[in-house]
Amino acid sequence: MNIIGELRKKKKRTFIEKSAINVVIAIIEAYQLNSNFLSLLDNLPDLEQKIVNHEIRLRPKPYLNIPIFPLTSRNNFRLAQKIVEKIDNPYLKYARDPEEIYLSKLLFWKNPDIRAIELENIHFELLLNSKKKGTRCIIQCPSKAGKE
């Protein structure tokens, strides 16, 4: 048994992943959201009807700086907790704006097997519409240069 070798392998594999609460806190602070945003999240059943007659907008996924350990006010943290409780799905950690928070629940419900690379680089609205119509979404991932 080579315990030191095993520990080195394990250490190389560990990384810090951005959690949904960190993403939501970053969005709350970047877009200055307040508790009124929670009332929008209550209207999720109406969202599918709006998307049926909606034209697809091709737009880039917004850049958002997400800190690993966010420092925020108590009110923003409570708001983030309520949003995460209400919109609890694995796609939430890939959201980069309030609209993507809103769309993440429906997108996960419609298609729970979207690859992480698509979620990271393609706006949820485009993914929702392309998956809904049965087409394949092929978009070159934007470079992260110039976004910092």
- The predicted-structure confidence for 9-42, as pLDDT tens digits, reads as follows 655 554 556 799 999 999 999 999 999 999 888 8
Residue 122 pairs with which residues in a beta bridge?
A: 60
For residue 76, give the nearest of 19, 20, 40, 27 by alpha carbon. 27
* pLDDT for res 16: 57
pTM of the model: 0.73
HSE of 12 in the Cβ direction (CA atoms, 13 Å)? Answer: 6
Tell me the residue ranges of DSSP E strands in 1-148: none
- Cβ neighbors of 10 (< 8 A, separation 6 or more) are none
Q: Please give the residue that has the higher pLDDT: either 44 or 73.
A: 73
* pLDDT for res 43: 72
* pLDDT for res 1: 54
* pLDDT for res 143: 46
